[in-house]
Amino acid sequence: MLSGRVNTFTEAAIADSEQDANGALTELDKGLRSGKVGEQCESIVRFPRLFEKYPFPILINASFLKLADVFRVGNNFLRLCVLRVCQQSEKHLDKVYMVDEFVRRVYSVIHSNDPIARALTLRILGAVACLIPERQQVHHSIRTSLDSHDNVEVEAGIYAATQFAAQSKSFAISMCNKIADMIQGQATPANMKLQLIPVLQHMHHDTSTAAMVRNLCTELLPKYPTEDFVLVTLNTLTQLAAATLVDIPSQVQLLIRYISSDPRKKVKSKCLEHLYELAKPGAHLWPSEALNSTLDIALETTSPKLLSAALSVVEVLSESPQWCHEHHHCQSKVRLLCVKNCHSPHPAIAAQAIHILTQIICYCYKENIKRVGTDEVISSLETIILLLTISDEKHPYQLKVVLRCAVRLAEIDKLYCERFVELLESRLGSVDPDCTILICEALGAIAGIQPDALLPHLGDILNHIQHEHETTVSSTNDKSTNIVVLLCTLVFQTLGGYDWNEETLQILKKVSGSNQLWANYRIGRAAVRYGHHGLAEYVFSNLTEQVSYEHWHFWLVCLQEMSQAEDMLVTPNHKPKNIVDRLDYALLHYNKAIAALKAASTPSHNLQFQGEYMHIRCEFLQCLLLLIHTCNILCIVPPPAIASTIAQSTRDDLQRHGYITNQMRKCVKEFKACAELYCKLYQTAFDADCSTLENLQILQQMCVMLEQCVESVCVSNAATRQIIQFDLKDAKLESRQLLNACTSASRLCQSIADENLGLTITHKHVDLLKAIVEIFVNAPLPIPRFFFQVLQCTTLKLAITPQPRVLGECISVQPGSQLAVKVEGVIQHGSKPGLFRKVDGVIVTVTSQLQPNTKIKEIITDSKNIETSCVLTQTVAPHKDFFSAQFLLAFPRGGLYILAIDASVVDEDGNKWNTGPKSTLTVKVPDEPKLQPISMPGMAGNANVILMTEDSLFVRKK
């Protein structure tokens, strides 16, 4: 479903059009030059959207200069709009390269007689502090503004001082004494002191300044004991300690002292929040007595709010392995605190206590430490799950926390899976829809660990599906529809690797026949993800005529044909058992699916991954069919009479078998090529989830396994390679059936490798190869999630300089000169950036290749001795999603050159992903004419002299 976003302003001028950056900037410039203030404001507020759409330095630099002009000559309202643009476009500020000109235009307003104009100038200078951190005249203006008699200007100076103190070490050191005097001075109002104290949290550029600021703030605490001053000062000290790290122990002790001695509840609550902030970066820096004091506070307090805040601090500390190791024994204060509160009448406190105990137990399992009290923790966990699902009050967040604890305990010990499944399944029919959805998700997570745990409860799950389906039909409730989809997914997880009975199949067909269309699509999508293609084909066939767009229709047709092809490969009783017929039938439907997918593609949704995935699957099935036909050659085509002679002449003993040897070697090449295709597809799937990448790896290894097996039969001197071993322990549920097939096939491959001596091809070898093909064909293919859903979207957008004046023309370069190519780019993200992996670097590759000219043979002949191709590569680190690379290209010969610019990304682990994009430019270098020697009387024969007509007068006659 497509979602739209409503904007305040009409953006038909730039948002919906496909005009280039210059055209969009020209339109906004017209608005800036308008005589109406409203049109000027409308143009100004559109600039942030323009920066997001075209985030390149040349446009951003020009835009900020235009905005600086408006700020210089406009009224205060226009200046306020420009200020908001600068604050919203913080990540694009470093692309302004004419900083001096921008500052000159803005800074001219600081001399205005209007204090509001001066205040706006100070604020915009503070907003661009990252560009001018060491600009001394700006520092002087900020100091002067703090002595102003106008409160608006002083507040603007405080804002600018805060921004510059975070960027400039020299400014922070020079302003420290000034701000300290203002805070301690009697003439400064109290409300202004509250604004000045937070400036000190940025003064951590060196140890001496940070120590001086800390001493100042600690001296202020007893002098200003009011609640507002204490809260602001403690917050400043906490932020300063989190930045320096060395002051964390002393700050923790200070906060605990205030919790113990200060009677005000708000101060206690804020101190616990600050302890929570300090526990994240420096749990290992906490002194042991501070932790004991925090636990004592939690044990002694009677306030549920303070207890919950203290448990939040302990939750963060429990993420540290060192902390868990020190407090894992049953008599520790942490255990006593959690056991005391795991049955609390407050669900939030009970959930936090259970979470802490779960962290400790998981650590003990991981480190093989003796576990004490695990059964009591699980009993408490079951109790709180029952209480949260029985209670009339809804506590969805707390229920989610305890269900995650149940899933984590099931992961470390699969013996707990059946226990939790029995509990959660019993609550399905008696809780509200929100809780039911959470329980279904938890059951799905446990089924991913141990799917057989759900098998005894399959009948109850089917009853719940029928009940929820009746509720959906009668009330059209979206939550009930979501529950039906989740319950169907549980059935798919449970029946993975099992045959469907008729009753289960009829129930799911009935549900998908009268359900909402989007819910049916989700059911079909879940079915193909877990390899149940027969039901998926039924669901998709009913949806193909129910959509209003042609592209959606062809997409559903593609899914239907693909499901039909995969369903035919499996061999139930009602399908043909001949493997050749099944492969032919599957290839026929896969070709139809690929044709439908091409019709479903649009420029905005090119479906490239889906097309490549089905194409490679089709190639793999074709290779399997070729291998089957090759194996049949041993019985059908006898070796020719001259086979022995060929074997002796080629010194290849396997040639005496005749045609089958060469065909098997051809199969080896085909499987190797198929494995390389899977590898290339893997390298392009930067945004894919882990299950999708695992799916591609398994399919690639299947090709490699078949390549090794066939090679060991048909190549006498084949290198001895170890058969690939597969591990089911950490595999995703979707991939387990494929891995089971690979494990079975690897045993047969090992028997081939053990028995074959590379001297003959026997019927046993052929039978084993056919058995391996049968195993792979019968294994249901789980379609990966990335085939349907892109949860993380990362694209690169390039701008290449120079560009031809007219699109499609060549760039002319003079002979003997070089061409400077500048590649600028921006990384664009979707709604969840960095969900699976992040971009750590961008590899830009420029390839220059001379195109041969058939008309001039001399150039072709000469170019054989000169390198006419060039490949330059540069790895750049993106800064705020922007990167830039420059190349200098030389052209040794005249002619037509094709420049190919390719970009790929590097993740945080150093892996390269060929994501693209690719761009091409054409460069034309004129041929340099060769000077012909001209003979003249009295001159050297090889002199390059042009003979003029009047030169004949000076030629001496013989």
The encoded tokens of residue 445 equal 């997570």
User: For residue 559, which of 516, 523, 510 has the smallest C-alpha distance?
Assistant: 523
- Rounded to whole angstroms, the Cα distance separating 529 from 488 reads 12
Q: How far apart are CA 529 and CA 299, in angstroms?
A: 49
pLDDT of amino acid 16 = 34
Of 333, 380, 390, the residue nearest 352 (C-alpha): 380
Band (pLDDT 50/70/90 cuts) for residue 576 is: low
d(CA 115, CA 106): 15
Tokens of 73: 């000559």
- pLDDT per residue over 648-669, tens digit each? 666 666 666 667 788 888 999 9
Stretch (H or E) spanning 745? helix 736-755
Tokens read off for 592: 């139809």
Burial class for 38, CB neighbours closer than 10 Å (0-12, 13-18, 19+):
exposed
Question: Are the beta carbons of 630 and 663 closer than 8 angstroms?
Answer: yes
Q: Find where tokens 């961008």 sit.
A: 842
Which helix (H) or strand (E) covers residue 800, if one does? Answer: strand 794-801
The bridge status of strand 918-925 relative to strand 811-812 is parallel
Q: What's the pLDDT at 511?
A: 86
Closest CA to 143 of 158, 128, 131: 158
Count of alpha carbons within 13 Å of 722, Cβ hemisphere only? Answer: 3
For the segment 164-168, the average pLDDT, to the nearest whole number, is: 89
- For residue 520, count CB atoms less than 10 angstroms from its CB and return exposed for 0-12, middle for 13-18, buried for 19 or more: buried
The pLDDT of residue 573 is 54
85, pLDDT greater than 50:
yes
How confident is the model at residue 574, as a pLDDT? 53
Query: What mean pLDDT value characterizes the chain?
Result: 84
Q: pLDDT at residue 950 above 60?
A: no
Helix axes 207-223, 227-244, angle to 10 degrees: 160
pLDDT tens readout for residues 174-218: 888 888 888 888 888 888 888 888 888 888 877 888 888 888 888
Closest CA to 631 of 763, 749, 750: 763
- Three-class DSSP labels, 910-942: CCEECCCCEEEEEEEECCCCCCCCCCCCCCCCC
pLDDT of residue 943 exceeding 50: no
CA–CA gap between residue 461 and residue 484 (Å, rounded): 10
**Contact (Cβ atoms closer than 8 angstroms) between residue 374 and residue 420:** no
For range 321-341, the mean pLDDT: 83
Calculate mean pLDDT across residues 528-532. 92
pLDDT for the residue numbered 8: 31
Give the pLDDT confidence score for residue 559 in this predicted structure: 95
- Give the Cα separation of 891 and 869 in Å (integer): 9
For tokens 């029985």, what's the residue? Answer: 390
Strand partners, 683: none
Vertex 399, ends 397 and 405: CA angle to 5°?
Answer: 110
pLDDT tens column, 279-321: 888 777 888 788 888 888 888 888 889 899 989 998 888 888 8
Q: Which residues pair with 874 in a beta bridge?
A: 844
Taking only the tens place, the pLDDT of each residue in 447-491 is: 988 888 899 988 889 988 888 877 766 666 678 888 899 999 999
Percent of the chain whose pLDDT exceeds 90 = 38
The confidence score (pLDDT) of residue 516 equals 84
Between CA 315 and CA 317 the distance in angstroms is 5
Lowest mean pLDDT among 105-114, 499-508, 863-872: 863-872
- CB atoms under 10 Å from CB of 466, counted, come to 14
**In this predicted structure, what is the pLDDT of residue 11?**
34
Q: Which residues contact 119 (CB under 8 A, 6 or more apart)?
A: 145, 150, 152, 153, 155, 156
Burial class (CB in 10 A: 0-12, 13-18, 19+), 703: buried
Predicted local distance difference test score (pLDDT) of residue 954: 46
- Angstrom distances, CA of residue 473 to CA of 388, 432, 466, 468, 514: 29, 18, 11, 9, 8
pLDDT at 103 over 90: yes
User: Among 164-173, 519-528, 636-645, whose mean pLDDT is lowest?
Assistant: 636-645
Task: Report the pLDDT value the prediction gives residue 906, as an integer from 0 to 100.
Answer: 94
Q: Residues in the chain, how many?
A: 958
CA–CA separation, 565 and 614 (whole Å)? 11
Strands 811-812 vs 869-876: parallel, antiparallel or unpaired: unpaired
Q: What is the pLDDT of residue 932?
A: 54
Res. 718 pLDDT band, cuts 50 70 90: low
pLDDT score for 887:
93
- Percentages helix, strand, coil for the chain, rounded to the nearest 5? 65, 10, 30
- How far apart are alpha carbons 828 and 192 in whole angstroms? 42
In the numeric block, which tokens belong to residue 398?
């707390």
Residue 720 tokens, joined: 């001895």
In the predicted model, is pLDDT for residue 941 greater than 60? no
pLDDT at residue 782 above 90?
A: yes
Residue 798 backbone dihedrals phi, psi, to 5 degrees: -110, 150
pLDDT for 57: 85
- Count H helices and E strands in the chain, helices first: 38, 9
Mean pLDDT of 493-512: 87
Q: Determine contact, residues 904/794, Cβ cutoff 8 Å.
A: no
Please tell me whether the peptide bond between 48 and the residue prior to it is cis, using omega within 30 degrees of 0.
no
Nearest Cα to 178, choosing from 211, 135, 145? 145
Is residue 4 scored above 60 in pLDDT? no
d(CA 739, CA 741): 5
Cβ neighbours of residue 577 under 8 Å, at least 6 residues apart?
571
For residue 184, the model assigns a pLDDT of: 84
Gap between the Cα atoms of 455 and 447, Å rounded: 10
Contact 875/912 with Cβ under 8 angstroms? no
**839-851 vs 895-907, strand pairing mode:** antiparallel
Cis peptide bond prior to 802, omega within 30° of 0: yes
Torsion of CA 89, 92, 93, 97, to 10 degrees: -140
pTM of the model: 0.84
The percentage of residues in the chain with a pLDDT greater than 70, rounded to a whole number, is 87
pLDDT tens figures, 123-143: 999 999 999 998 999 999 999
Between these two residues, 853 and 578, which has the higher pLDDT value? 578
In sequence order, which residues have a C-beta less than 8 Å from that of residue 36 and are 6 or more positions away? none
* Tokens linked to 711: 């090679």
